[in-house]
Amino acid sequence: MESIQRQRLPERPRVRPANAQQRADRAAANGGEPTLELAERTPYDTYVHASTLHSLQQTLSRDPGEMSFLMVSQIMELYFGLTCFEVREARKRLREDDVWAALAPLHRAALHLEGLNAAWRGLRWMTPADFNRFRNLLGEGSGFQSAMYRQLEFLLGLKSVSLARPFHRQPQVYAELVETLRAPSLWDEVIAVLARRGFAVPAGLLDRDFSNEAEPSAEVTAAWVEVYADPGPDNHLRLLGETLVEIVEQFDDWRHQHLKAVRRTMGAKVGTGGSAGAAWLRRSMAREVFPELWAARTEM
């Protein structure tokens, strides 16, 4: 029997690189005006794939307000993915014990979360009557089912085996979630850094099943109190702590704004994904990210 050959995808167009001299020559030839005649697809679209992005808004109704709901949801998905990218980079740097190098991606992650939060403004106009015009068409579709948001929670340390279950019929998505679930989170890598720097971290926090959230540790809290006792500019651990706090504040702001948006558009109705809606969101918000960083502030 002949082996089945895997179908090759067509090669994507590439952006042709240009150096400073080539750009200067082009500007001189154009008399300072933009290039208007291009031999191929615009390099901008080749790079950004804008035409593809703008083809993904496929609404279910003729209600014009649904476009806002759909596109803001897609924007948030992109921000989830971008924030996950930065958190993974920071986690890698921490695993290499390079705290200083981890600060830049963490700072970018905080800024991306700020942009994510700003996206909620695009839905502040929506009332229950507005939402009800297309809500039934969503069926059981719910933001609860965002795999990329769940990736972000797992990366930050909010682990839950059960929350990966909705994706088990999407093999690649599920495998990626399980991989993140079982791996040390950003917070686990932070704790490992503290241990390597000589702080008294319980061994059980460093060698455990990372699929489950660890209980807050008094020893880790004490380590952060000690870290913050040194206000010097070379104390990279203190800078790390402050950057992590900024991420948590922005992440918590998103969760709070999510709750406000649900209350504004649904009140106390049950959610489309089978949850209790606003009541379920309130309970989920009680799960704290980086708890020892907050506990340390009481002890300082």
Contacts of 250 (CB under 8 A, 6+ apart): 110, 113, 114, 116, 117
Q: Are 114 and 79 in contact (CB under 8 A)?
A: no
Question: In the structure, what pLDDT confidence band is assigned to residue 188 with cuts at 50, 70 and 90?
Answer: very high
Does 8 score more than 60 pLDDT?
no
Terminal CA-CA length for the chain:
72
Q: What was the pLDDT predicted at 131?
A: 92
Please provide the DSSP assignment of 181-247 as one string. Answer: HHS--HHHHHHHHHHHTT----HHHHSS-TTSPPPP-HHHHHHHHHHHT---TT-HHHHHHHHHHHH
Of 66-80, 101-115, 258-272, minimum mean pLDDT range:
258-272
pLDDT tens-digit readout, 111-130: 999 999 999 999 999 999 99
**184 or 8, which is more confident?**
184
Does 253 score more than 50 pLDDT?
yes
Of 130-144, 153-167, 286-300, minimum mean pLDDT range:
130-144
The annotation status of 243 as a binding-site residue, yes or no, is no
Phi, psi of 287 (to 5 degrees): -75, 120
Query: Could you tell me what percent of the chain has a pLDDT over 70?
Result: 93
Q: What was the pLDDT predicted at 274?
A: 65
Q: What is the pTM of this model?
A: 0.91
Q: What was the pLDDT predicted at 278?
A: 74
The annotation status of 258 as a binding-site residue, yes or no, is yes
Mean of the pLDDT values across residues 230-243?
Answer: 95
Q: Are 112 and 104 in contact (CB under 8 A)?
A: no
Does 236 score more than 90 pLDDT?
yes
If you ran DSSP here, which 8-state letter would residue 40 be given? S
The answer for 40, left when phi > 0, alpha when psi is -120 to 50, beta otherwise, is beta
The annotation status of 135 as a binding-site residue, yes or no, is yes
Give the residue extent of every domain in the chain: 65-143+185-299
Question: In the structure, what pLDDT confidence band is assigned to residue 182 with cuts at 50, 70 and 90?
Answer: very high
- The highest-level CATH class for domain 65-143+185-299 is mainly alpha
